[in-house]
Amino acid sequence: MNEAEKQKIISELSKFYKELRSYKNRQSRRHEPEFSETQIRSLDALRLKLQRDHGRLRDIISEYGGRAYLPILNRNYEVFSYSLGSLDIGFRELEALDAAISLVNKTIGKLQSSALSEGAATVTASAPPKAFIAHGGESPARKKLVNFLNALGITPIIVEEQPSEGRSKDKNVEYYLKQCDCAIILATKGDIDGKTGEFIPRGNILNEIGRAQGILPDKMIYLLEKETKFPTNIDEKVWERFTQESMDKAFIKIAKELRAFELIKAV
């Protein structure tokens, strides 16, 4: 694949990615009273277009982004066919759409990363860098962070999504931290400080911060949700605010730090 072909595919994937997101957003509002029959017909037309586009892009997505399956009642369903197979979709189809969007995002990131290395005399194949994510549970911010890292060619590591192989929770955290190149602290609202009445991150995040400081002391990125406060022993660190709706400033912070860690190249 030459550079012109690669850029053409990246452009097609970017359009496909935007239309998938638009389709998901519109599907989530489909049962609202103000959603008209005309909008439903338009949504179905978009679904059929996405099916056709996926048919053209399936091979490149599988090669660079991989494949993902949704387990339902002891059976695995491929996320694109499951989420685009019917117009009337529920929460499992929306979950499949999220996974499909993530695969396309990852594919774009991998292609862009490989484009940056074009022209080098030799290219050494290596596993993509890994980022450990300390978090307080599933949230819109966590999904945005995972998609952003995939687009950069960084593999996000969420411990509960990895095999434990009989290890305890603490040992499992330590095991995966040691495999990662950096740690990102996604400190969302959790508990309320009994003394101050302010929101503080959940206890598991604070525990994982302590473990990460021992294993990756110089390669940590701290993100703190608005209206939340770090304990005094962590508050002295340099951190960036975010909200569940907007991660823009946090993403700039992440990109700067990853470049400083030499895990991504300046673009």
Torsion of CA 208, 176, 139, 141, to 10 degrees: 90
Give the pLDDT of residue 266. Answer: 53
Taking each helix axis from N to C end, the angle separating 169-177 and 203-215, rounded to the nearest 10 degrees, works out to: 40
What is the reported pLDDT for 118? 46
Asked if 216 and 182 touch (Cβ cutoff 8 Å), the reply is yes
Dihedrals φ, ψ of 76, to 5°? -100, 130
Low-confidence residues of the chain, pLDDT below 50?
116-125, 267
Q: Does the model's pTM come out above 0.75?
A: no
* Rounded-to-integer distance, Cα 167 and Cα 159, Å: 12
Rounded to an integer, what distance in angstroms lies between the CA atom of residue 67 and that of residue 58? Answer: 9
Domain 130-260 coded CATH 3.40.50.10140: yes
What pLDDT, in 10s, does the model give residues 180-238?
999 999 999 877 877 777 888 888 898 999 999 999 989 999 999 998 988 877 877 88
Residue 121: what pLDDT? Answer: 33
Calculate the average pLDDT of the chain: 85
